[in-house]
Amino acid sequence: MINLYELYYSSPIGILKIKSTKYEILSLEFVQEKFFNKENINILKEASKQLDEYFKGSRKEFDLNIRLEGTEFQKKVWNELLKIPYGEVVTYKDIATRIGNEKAVRAVGNANNKNKIPIIVPCHRVVGSNGKLVGYLGGLDKKIWLLNHEK
């Protein structure tokens, strides 16, 4: 049996609940309430430190062990998201083309919406083909904030 841990992190865009195993980040979720942090393991402390640096503007990419859990297609999409540089945006079609299936735009969007580790796996850097901001797990206001933060 795998032990799971969680930490609540207060960010400028709301409370984030980070879930992990002892060595890998599993998810980062926007939540309404913060509960007492009783976990004190290294991976969660490091995630909190790197999020602090990101929100202060001194970290442009994350260096954390993460576990991407999903279909092979979803993992391809999420690994491609990890390659989008800080401060840049790409379209869903760009991602579909990069993974070798330019007609899979809608499937890329669906995979993007299933990303369990937003911010760290930067799904906020993906926009519609006309440059329009579309959907974000935590709400469009958070996506706008993150994109403006990275300018």
pLDDT recorded at residue 37: 67
Query: Based on the domain organization, do 85 and 141 belong to the same domain?
Result: yes
Answer yes or no: 123 catalytic: yes
Residue 107, domain extent: 72-149
pLDDT in tens, the chain (151 residues): 789 999 999 999 999 999 999 999 999 999 988 776 676 789 999 999 999 999 999 999 999 999 999 999 999 999 999 999 999 999 999 999 999 999 999 999 999 999 999 999 999 999 998 888 887 878 899 999 999 999 9
CATH number at residue 122: 1.10.10.10
Query: Based on the domain organization, do 52 and 76 belong to the same domain?
Result: no
Cα separation of 145 and 147, whole Å?
A: 6
Query: Based on the domain organization, do 50 and 91 belong to the same domain?
Result: no
The catalytic position among 123, 126, 146, 147 is: 123
Domain assignment present for residue 66? The answer is no
pTM of the model: 0.88
pLDDT recorded at residue 39: 66
**Number of domains observed in the structure of the chain:** 2
pLDDT recorded at residue 134: 82
